[in-house]
Structure 1
Amino acid sequence: MTKSQELYKKAKNIIPGGTQLLSKRPEMFGVDNWPSYYSKAKGCEVWDLDNNKYKDFSYMGIGSNVLGYADDDINEAVKQSIDKSNMCTLNAPEEVELAEELCNIHPWADMVRYAKSGGESATISIRIARAKTKKDIVLFCGYHGWHDWYLASNLGDENNLEGHLLPGLSPAGVPKGLKGTSFPFTYNNKEEFDRLVSKYDGKIAAVIMEPLRNVYPEKGFLEHIRSITKEKGIVLIFDEISAGFRLCLGGSHLTLGVEPDIALFGKALSNGFPMAAIIGRKEVMQTAQDTFISSTYWTDRIGLVASLKTIKKFKENKVHIVLEKNGSRIQEGWKNLAAKHKLNISIMGIKPLSYFSFNYVNDKEIKTLFIQEMLELGFMSTTGYYASFAHTESDIKEYLDATDKVFEKLAVAIEAKNVENLIHTELCHSGFKRLT
């Protein structure tokens, strides 16, 4: 066994689920092959506990390291803030500086609150919306975390989250009194949204949704939701935790031309340091004063400093343009190589958050073999690619050359009906399923 496999075996006995994040569980990639733990990471390179080196062409810190791992400028700013003390009885002045920066980037927003994770920020926004409207029901589209308000959807119907999270996800531990307080609608389906608004008219506190994820909105879809929520006095929340800072400096809604009442940010905002921001209109955000929203480590300095430096680097380097370019090259590469080897795949996602799928009955086996063979060639890779500023042109060429070799091997194995015999691990598990 490798050091990583030994450690993961130990972890599963003392950590429920083995890891803190579902998306990082080795089972998602093939538990016996995936390196599982890192000793260090720099740029897009990762070293495991046995000192094997890989290039990360998978999720780059689950979408958080958009500038790359251990960015020198970000790290230097954070180290300086640590020397000045990360925590104090007094407040860090960077709280105000970052709030001003976020509101300048989003002129429709007036006020900002902070948290440390995306799920926290979504929950804070729901609390604010319910306090503002004095209503309970939430309509949602897409994935928004693990908290009670969201999983409560499955108290009424265990299939409610089928298209938004993991099929059949259990709401165990969620108070049964929350039944009937959150309901999903499908992205780009105005009729379904309208039916929910009509059914729960006068009781809806908020609509929360990812404005953009795997597909672009159909013409008029977001505008329709904005119009209805404004007419009904419903707080519209855009969850930008995944898409934000990838298509432009700030939220993807800036490119789509629709302004919410609240927007949420995390992941790319701070390049790998814990940080989340809730920005919004003053008349909505002030309601945070009427309820209790407070936590000690929301006031630490590191996340603020990392966010300010990340935004500065985005401005100076026009990072979103590089992310778009890298994602385009990857998607085009997948398309051409699949055609070359006569593989049936589907490609989806915005360019900086790209995905493909194998269109075969034994797709899970083929995906597992793809991950396994890419690891052999030195690439942490799956059927998703999160673009990073750290991916150079030569890195991308090396990745596509490796993909060429592996696609050829897959095509031969599929033709010979020999895929399962080539796999050296249990099959990878299914991941998040979304309709956005």
Structure 2
Amino acid sequence: MGTGQDLYKKAKMLIPGGTMLLSKRPEMFLPEKWPSYFSRAKGCQVWDLDDNQYLDMSIMGIGTNILGYGNETVDDEVRRVVSQGNMSTFNCPEEVYLAEKLVELHPWGDMVRLARSGGEANAIAIRIARAASGRDKVAICGYHGWHDWYLSANLGETDGLDGHLLPGLNPGGVPRNLKNTVLPFNYNDIEGLKTLVQNNPDLGVIKMEVSRNMGPENGFLEEVRKLATQNNIVLIFDECTSGFRQTYGGLHKMYGVEPDMCMFGKALGNGYGITAVLGKRSVMEAAQKTFISSTFWTERIGPSAALATLEVMEKTKSWETITQIGTDITKRWADLGKKYDLEINTAGLPALTSFSIVSDNWLKYKTFITQEMLKKGILASNSVYVCTEHKPELVNRYFDELEPIFNTLSACEKGDADISSLLESPVCHGGFKRLN
């Protein structure tokens, strides 16, 4: 047991769920063996509490660091504003400059509200959209955070959110009277969405991810836009995850479909807490008819980091770089699958790419991959959230170590080896589970 594993045992006694973010629970990777905590990070390298160094070919801070950990330009700007003071009775001017920049990048939008987390941005957008439409019900497609409004979709007889990121999300503590206020629909199923709209005249908001695991088909996004317009429904694109990964701005720019509101997060501040809600003036002014306010939405670090991040992105065309790297990684996974006779499915935006092996033993295989790659000094599972620091030699190192693991998994699939006997920890979790 390393220092990190020991500390996590203590954390589970002090912190409900062990960590603040489900996606960072060690049980999602390698139960009882995952290093859990970092001492420092730079580029795409991470050091644990015992000073062991790892190449991060995993989720890169849950996709927060497109420019890599500790980008000098961004960090220098943060240090500069910290030296001048982070909070004051006055507001920081950077919030105006950032709002101006986001509107410049998305001419359909007019106004911006800032927050510090994706869940907050989603909640802000829903509040404003409901106030603007004057209707309560929301149709959703995708993952939109942890707040009551979203988890209420799981208050019905079936878990409506199971297909929208993680299965088993428990709505404990969510008021029962929110039941049937949030109605999930499936991506690329325009007829299903039309039925929801037809059967719910009090539906005032459609909120969806532009793309997560697949792209739009048969003019799906255009049809959603048309449906929203025809029924005076506020259309929100949640780009907290997809923003700035395939275009300089929202992914919707690539498809030429404009929403009424859009949220950005994760990559916007390259690791610093900043999210934004952008919208048309006709919708955003509804914020004046409700109450949305928070002390730390006014701190200076977040918007300053975002402005510096956007500057570096624009200068380096980071979205082009990470898209190319991710496309290459995805192809090489598929090639390995063919070479070792494993049925591989790939999914996600190129810069948020993932794979799975079609097998009843998939979670065991996933655990084994993490286990063996960790021994080689690489953080790896079945997803790579790409950053500009994933240089070719590092990607080559990753695949050099991954290939013999695929060979072993192929033997397991053929019955020539037993995956259960190869595991040195419990099997990783595949969804939300209560920790003892």
**TM bracket (short chain):** over 0.9
Paired residues of 1:67 and 1:389 also in contact (CA < 8 A): yes
1-structure distance, mates of 2:341, 2:230? 51
**Is 1:45–2:35 an aligned residue pair?**
no
Paired residues of 1:114 and 1:277 also in contact (CA < 8 A): yes
Q: Mean alpha-carbon deviation: is it higher for 220-229 or for 11-20?
A: 220-229
Cα deviations by residue, 1:201-258 (Å, 9 ceiling, x for unpaired): 2x11210000111111012111111111111111000000111100010000000110
Q: Which residue of 1 aligns with 2:423?
A: 423
Cα deviations by residue, 1:93-128 (Å, 9 ceiling, x for unpaired): 011111110000000000000011111101101100
Q: Which residue of 2 aligns with 1:158?
A: 158
Cα deviations by residue, 1:163-209 (Å, 9 ceiling, x for unpaired): 114333221101111112110000000111011000002x1121000
Cα deviations by residue, 1:322-353 (Å, 9 ceiling, x for unpaired): 01111011011111122222222211222111
Q: Which residue of 1 aligns with 2:10?
A: 10
2-structure distance, mates of 1:35, 1:100? 41
1-structure distance, mates of 2:265, 2:112? 13
Amino acid aligned to 2:351: P
Paired residues of 1:77 and 1:309 also in contact (CA < 8 A): yes
Alignment of 1:24-103 (within 5 A): 24-103=24-103
Cα deviations by residue, 1:275-315 (Å, 9 ceiling, x for unpaired): 10000000100110110000000011000010001100111
Q: Which residue of 2 aligns with 1:167?
A: 167
Q: Which residue of 1 aligns with 2:179?
A: 179
1-structure distance, mates of 2:398, 2:225? 41
| Identity within the alignment, % | 48
Q: Mean alpha-carbon deviation: is it higher for 28-37 or for 166-175?
A: 166-175
Q: Which residue of 1 aligns with 2:113?
A: 113
2-structure distance, mates of 1:137, 1:15? 34
Amino acid aligned to 2:343: N
**Gap runs ≥5 in structure 2:** none
Amino acid aligned to 1:23: S
3-state DSSP of counterpart to 1:218: coil
Tell me by how many angstroms 1:265 deviates: 0.4
1-structure distance, mates of 2:170, 2:311? 42
Paired residues of 1:32 and 1:424 also in contact (CA < 8 A): no
Q: Which residue of 2 aligns with 1:260?
A: 259
3-state DSSP of counterpart to 2:161: coil
Q: Which residue of 2 aligns with 1:328?
A: 327
Tell me by how many angstroms 1:405 deviates: 2.2
**TM-score normalised to the size of structure 1?**
0.97
Q: Which residue of 2 aligns with 1:381?
A: 380
Amino acid aligned to 2:185: F
Q: Which residue of 2 aligns with 1:278?
A: 277
Alignment of 1:91-240 (within 5 A): 91-201=91-201, 203-240=202-239
1-structure distance, mates of 2:241, 2:355? 18
2-structure distance, mates of 1:414, 1:163? 27
Cα deviations by residue, 1:48-81 (Å, 9 ceiling, x for unpaired): 1111111000100000011101111110000001
3-state DSSP of counterpart to 1:325: helix
Amino acid aligned to 2:74: I
2-structure distance, mates of 1:32, 1:422? 15
CA-based RMSD of the aligned residues comes to 1.1
Q: Mean alpha-carbon deviation: is it higher for 178-187 or for 332-341?
A: 332-341
Paired residues of 1:158 and 1:170 also in contact (CA < 8 A): no
Q: Which residue of 2 aligns with 1:392?
A: 391
3-state DSSP of counterpart to 2:186: coil
Q: Which residue of 2 aligns with 1:359?
A: 358
1-structure distance, mates of 2:106, 2:157? 37
Tell me by how many angstroms 1:417 deviates: 3.5
Closer, same or farther: CA 414–376 of 1 in aligned 2, 3 Å: farther
3-state DSSP of counterpart to 2:155: helix
Q: Which residue of 1 aligns with 2:297?
A: 298
Amino acid aligned to 1:86: N
3-state DSSP of counterpart to 1:347: strand
Q: Mean alpha-carbon deviation: is it higher for 254-263 or for 410-419?
A: 410-419
Paired residues of 1:166 and 1:431 also in contact (CA < 8 A): yes
Q: Which residue of 2 aligns with 1:402?
A: 401
1-structure distance, mates of 2:98, 2:312? 14
Tell me by how many angstroms 1:161 deviates: 1.3
Amino acid aligned to 1:35: P
Paired residues of 2:167 and 2:431 also in contact (CA < 8 A): no
**TM-score normalised to the size of structure 2?**
0.97
2-structure distance, mates of 1:197, 1:206? 10
2-structure distance, mates of 1:62, 1:373? 21
Tell me by how many angstroms 1:364 deviates: 1.0
Paired residues of 1:158 and 1:169 also in contact (CA < 8 A): no
Q: Which residue of 2 aligns with 1:340?
A: 339
2-structure distance, mates of 1:158, 1:150? 15
**Gap runs ≥5 in structure 1:** none
1-structure distance, mates of 2:67, 2:118? 19
Paired residues of 2:168 and 2:431 also in contact (CA < 8 A): no
Amino acid aligned to 2:220: F
Amino acid aligned to 1:116: R
